[in-house]
A and B are shown apart, each in its own frame.
Chain A
């Protein structure tokens, strides 16, 4: 949908060759492009203004380094500045007190209930905490049932409110239980509310006074536009927010709201939701978010995700192979085996930049049972065929189809997709570590 920012800035600097410093004129031209890119990424207008002002100050007059093109150099300043605005290093939760009370608040439909379960699973799995989920949304039909179902499916504990219909009473009883039974953390899921609804804002303020939470996290949809600033301001005026959780980041939104929120709330984004499954929660990385807002993509998360469940070295190798275009069908098969453990191919590829040639790639989706068929096809090929699929002619296709219990059209499709994939991976940015 959008022209990549690096392309556009590149254009600005086409003329620049031979100059020793970044001139005011050229920086201003580049900043115009950056302003548009940030606005298209949904960063709030005031934040954009402030930001471009800072970048201008830092970039004008810089000596042009030989190693970087002027465009790259401006982008580097932009990226560094963006990263620092997004809160520097990732921030852990404050879990010192026992029980720690975590309050999740936000607008309707931002994803609080799912996030409550995700956070509970994260704390249980990674930090070995005993967590109690507290359903305090007494307003939306079946919200309590939703949290209880998620708890049951993931072997998490959920407070049973019995017939209690007042959120405040539920929270009081649940916190008491959490103390009594020695839970480490209680996560309170509150009803979604509009920041202009005084009555409901009073209610959440009361819940806060009663529960005395250690963390109050504002849960916001990463696809939010300019209004992120208004709602976040109103919530942080009523409640001492300690952080933000951004949800639904597995789509193709550039997520500029992250920047607006971090700026307005003055507190870092702590986690991001990356899918509908309860395990789909990740720690927020400002540098990656910065690249994404700018449309520069994020190969790093891809690598890390793969290396979580595979050997890190092997992941690096595969990434380098992809980049250098030495990726073979055999590598594809091995990767597919790994990916079946990791979730869908498309969710993995979702970490790649969604601009330029890689946009197409993320649309290639391979459903789970199809990966098994693909594996069978690749297994039925000779080593030479796997090395260089161009030699696979009609009769070879028939043999492979027979051997793998598939059809020639399916084999054609595999070869076509593999071809596209290789073409697109060529020229992907180098992996950073």
Chain B
């Protein structure tokens, strides 16, 4: 979430609208009441816990964050003269940033081969739209890009990607509806090699993480891509809808197991949903959030930055 261009500033404003809590909310709910003579005010702490739960961080993470705040308030030496409200905010920011900072990053792409990105996720999260957004970005920065329509299952999914391809002037590699998605990926990889493309974005069908045979299909797509292009897929992005509740964790676990997820995308952050479950996801799986979707046009995509996100979340 760099804030250089005016356009980006506009996007960030879109995102900021009422993240976990607004500044005023935090002050009024947690505010000066955080410390009484008897120690941290339980009512204020409860209000904080509730604000976090309302953001979908889940009861367990909420409790951890509240405990961190409690400990900091009690620690007279550590607070270095900070006002209660500042102290609380700083602790929250630090805790959120720490949880959102992953220890892994995708392996480097071998020199001279097209980069293959695989988009995965459950149904309707915004995979196709995000694929188009990312392809548009790469193409605008001068790269040669291919789109692969590997959602051969959902009705008119190929048409949907083709519409984006037409709008962006990007070639779409596709087969007929119902074709083997691995075959589409095979052809897209071959085409990328032949045309010396810089990157291939593979849009896949939505699938619930509990369907073992469909998850196995992703493993097959991976194998085929890897056979055609060394190290492919180089990135596997799990697209999560911000409205997702705690099932997001189950999604992240299963997709990571079958598809080797290397990064997360949180879409639909232009609404009121906060997607707080990413705190638990990044913490457990150590996979970074890469992008945030804030609308339906190709410009509506932000790079993710844990510090900026934590600040937006706490300062509002």
Give residues in A with beta carbon < 8 Å to B: 1, 36, 39-42, 45, 107-111, 139-143, 145-150, 153, 194-196, 221, 223-228, 230-231, 248, 250-254, 256-257, 276, 344, 346, 350, 362-363, 365, 367
Contacts and interface: CB of A to CB of B under 8 A. Distances in A.
Interface string B244-258: 111111100000000
Interface class of chain B by DSSP: loop
A142 B156 contact: yes
Which has the most chain B C-beta neighbours within 10 Å: A146, A194, A227, A257?
Answer: A227
Contact of A363 (B153, B162, B212): B212
A108 B277 contact: no
B245 A225 contact: yes
Interface stretch (B188-196, B224-232, B264-272): B264-272
A231 B272 contact: yes
A253 B272 contact: no
A42 B58 CA distance: 8
Contacts of B156: 142-143, 145-146, 148-149
Contact of A107 (B59, B243, B274, B276): B243
Interface string B69-96: 0000000000000000000000000000
Interface residues of B, number: 49
B160 interface: yes
Nearest to B209: A251
Contacts of B53: 39, 45, 226
B59 A365 contact: no
A150 B155 contact: yes
A194 B271 contact: yes
Interface class of chain A by DSSP: loop
A249 to B, nearest CB: 10
Contacts of A195: 271-272
A250 to B, nearest CB: 6
Contacts of A150: 155
A281 B250 CA distance: 24
Interface string B206-218: 0011111100000
Contacts of A227: 56, 242-243, 271-274
B124 A110 contact: yes
A145 B155 CA distance: 8
Contacts of A139: 296
A35 to B, nearest CB: 8
Contacts of B122: 223, 248, 251
